[in-house]
């Protein structure tokens, strides 16, 4: 939408469509008050009449309203406009005003990223070439970055224009995750297609967001050569399901960049969390967290932190997240995750995962005796320990899935293979839950974004 006002004003809008909750937002602008206004109106319901009420407010607080009607565009995809809410929040529960980004309801057709509000109503549809977007990154230049295929990263402005489109170099395809570094470049988990051993999902590369150049930062096969050679040559490349003879010995699924230049990685195949120092310089192993016996017979066991407490380790964890907290002593921080609680490794067929207390080996998300968990640790690097501070059960998903700490002590958990995501309190009580129809097998992640400074003020 574009218009001018005589006086400098800010703009909010409300979208109303019969049969749906209203959607209200304040549009992002370069300045809080200005005379030229251009913004994207989110929230229109597809193929029905939408009444859009614009409210312009000047610096004296004087308000002027205008109303227009517009029929929402036809969806490009087949997603639901209204999700099933399997748990309705009570009147006293506030779920905030963020949008849930559905990342990876993978299909064999056109793929999309979807925005749903806290009522489970579709408010946006963003097409991607294929594969999926894994998370949204916001840089200092007003761009939102996300993956649009296994090869392509794009930077989109708040009006929906792709200002930057970069393909990784021919040797690499991305998978599962990426992060923005302190220079505004993107560090990605990747597969090197040129490898003669066909190892997959074990590389880390950097995409220069100014030049589009791709640079290799780390080959985990060089960091853990003995362990790699001890594993069976098997596995699949999820980024390329047609690929044959792949060696998925580590399967990194999450990266977190820390302020000091180090990085945390989640390795699904070994059920291990790995910290690497100086990732963009000379990477070295700092520590690992997880079931140490997975690494029996290697020299890397000495790098494991000591478990402080009586709790089982993770099984195939996803979506690990680093959280600094000024209330903690120096050298301590939080680390939370979706613990799939699933014990299996294609490249370690003889390993007995039941050494982990409470772990499931059920391949089906419908197994009634299995559950996944939200887990939160305090890591103390000075003491060399990790302690569990929060743990509660969530619906079971052997693979994929996500967790995200929200404001007001609420936690968003997406159980990908069941197509459900829910909001919990810190005690693990379910406050709200939504269910989405699966296109094929799962939804990879669900994260909530407030889009402040991008779509919204």
Q: What is the pLDDT of residue 290?
A: 98
Q: Domain ranges in the chain?
A: 2-71, 162-436
Q: What pLDDT score does 245 carry?
A: 84
440 against 370, higher pLDDT:
370
- Residue 75's pLDDT is what? 97
Mean pLDDT score, 357-377: 98
Q: Which residues contact 140 (CB under 8 A, 6 or more apart)?
A: 184
* 5-9, 37-41, 386-390, 439-443, range with the lowest pLDDT: 439-443
Mean pLDDT along residues 429-443: 95
Q: Residue 67 and residue 440: Cα distance in Å, rounded?
A: 41
Residue 168 phi/psi, 5-degree rounding, is: -65, 160
Nearest CA-CA partner of 186 in 223, 160, 231, 217 = 217
- pLDDT tens per residue across span 99-145: 999 999 888 888 999 999 999 999 999 999 999 999 999 999 999 99
Where residue 235 falls (left for φ over 0; alpha for ψ -120 to 50; beta otherwise) is left
- Cβ contact 187:178 at 8 Å: yes
Query: How much is the mean pLDDT over the chain?
Result: 96
Mean pLDDT of 401-420: 96
Is residue 265 within 8 A of residue 252, CB to CB? The reply is yes
Pairing of strands 443-449, 430-435: unpaired
* Beta-ladder partners of 254: 266
Q: What is the 3-state secondary structure (H, E, C) of 211-271?
A: CCCEEEEEEHHHHCHHHHHHCCCCCCCCCCCCCCCCECCCCEEEEEECCCCCEEEEECCCC
pLDDT tens per residue across span 319-331: 999 999 999 999 9
Q: Which fold has domain 162-436?
A: Neuraminidase (2.120.10)
**Is the pLDDT score of 195 beyond 80?**
yes
Whether the CB-CB separation of 256 and 317 falls below 8 Å is answered with no
User: Residue 239 pLDDT > 70, yes or no?
Assistant: no
Measure the CA–CA gap between 428 and 411, rounded to whole angstroms: 9
What is the Cα–Cα distance from 24 to 20, expressed in whole angstroms? 12
Residues 6+ apart with CB under 8 A from 91: none
Mean pLDDT of all residues in 367-380: 98
Strand partners, 330: none
Given pLDDT bands bounded at 50, 70 and 90, which one contains residue 235? Answer: confident
pLDDT of residue 414 exceeding 90, the answer is yes
Q: Does 296 have pLDDT greater than 90?
A: yes
Rounded mean pLDDT, 372-394? 99
Select from 2.60.120, 2.20.28, 2.40.160, 2.60.40 the CATH code of 2-71: 2.60.40
Whether the pLDDT of residue 243 is over 90: the answer is no
Start-to-end CA span in the chain (Å): 16
Which secondary structure element, helix H or strand E, spans residue 175, and what is its range? strand 172-180
**Region 331-351: what's the mean pLDDT?**
98
The reported pLDDT for the residue numbered 94 is 87
């Amino acid at each position: 939408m574009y218009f001018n006002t005589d006086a400098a004003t800010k703009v909010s809008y409300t979208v109303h469509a019969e049969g749906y909750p209203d959607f209200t937002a304040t549009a992002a602008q370069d300045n809080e008050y200005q005379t030229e206004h251009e913004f994207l109106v989110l929230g229109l319901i597809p193929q029905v009449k939408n009444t859009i009420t614009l409210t312009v407010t000047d610096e004296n607080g004087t308000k002027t309203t205008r109303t227009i009607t517009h029929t929402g565009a036809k969806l490009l995809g087949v997603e639901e406009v209204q999700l099933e809410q399997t748990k309705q929040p009570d009147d006293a529960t506030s779920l905030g005003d963020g949008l849930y980004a559905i990342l990876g309801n993978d299909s064999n057709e056109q793929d999309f990223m979807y925005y749903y509000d806290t009522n489970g109503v579709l408010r946006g549809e963003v097409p991607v070439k294929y594969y999926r977007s894994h998370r949204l990154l916001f840089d200092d230049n007003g761009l939102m970055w996300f993956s649009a295929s296994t090869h392509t990263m794009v930077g989109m402005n708040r009006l929906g224009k792709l200002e930057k489109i970069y393909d990784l170099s021919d040797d690499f395809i991305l998978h599962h995750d990426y992060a923005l570094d302190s220079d505004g470049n993107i560090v990605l988990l990747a597969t090197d297609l040129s490898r003669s051993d066909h190892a997959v999902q074990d590389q880390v590369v950097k995409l220069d967001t100014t030049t589009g150049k791709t640079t290799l930062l780390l080959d985990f096969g060089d960091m853990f050569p003995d362990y790699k050679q001890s594993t069976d040559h098997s596995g699949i490349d999820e980024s390329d399901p047609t690929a044959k003879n792949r060696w998925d010995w580590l399967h990194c699924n999450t990266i977190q960049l820390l302020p000091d230049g180090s990085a945390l990685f989640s390795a699904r195949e070994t059920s291990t969390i790995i910290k690497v120092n100086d990732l963009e310089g000379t990477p070295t192993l700092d520590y690992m967290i997880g079931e140490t016996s997975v690494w029996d017979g290697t020299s890397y066991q000495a790098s494991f932190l000591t478990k402080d407490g009586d709790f089982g380790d993770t099984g195939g964890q996803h979506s690990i997240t680093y959280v600094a907290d000024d209330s903690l002593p120096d050298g301590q921080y939080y680390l939370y995750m979706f613990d799939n609680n699933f014990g299996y490794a294609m490249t370690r067929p003889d390993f007995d995962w039941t050494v982990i207390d409470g772990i499931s080996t059920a391949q089906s998300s419908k197994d009634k005796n299995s559950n996944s968990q939200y887990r939160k640790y305090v890591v103390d690097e000075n003491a060399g320990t990790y302690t569990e501070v929060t743990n509660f059960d969530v619906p079971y998903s052997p693979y994929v899935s996500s967790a995200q700490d929200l404001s007001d002590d609420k936690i968003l958990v997406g159980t990908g293979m069941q197509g459900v995501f829910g909001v919990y309190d810190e005690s693990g009580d379910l406050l709200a839950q939504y269910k989405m129809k699966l296109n094929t097998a799962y939804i990879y992640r669900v994260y909530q974004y407030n889009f402040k400074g991008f779509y919204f003020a």
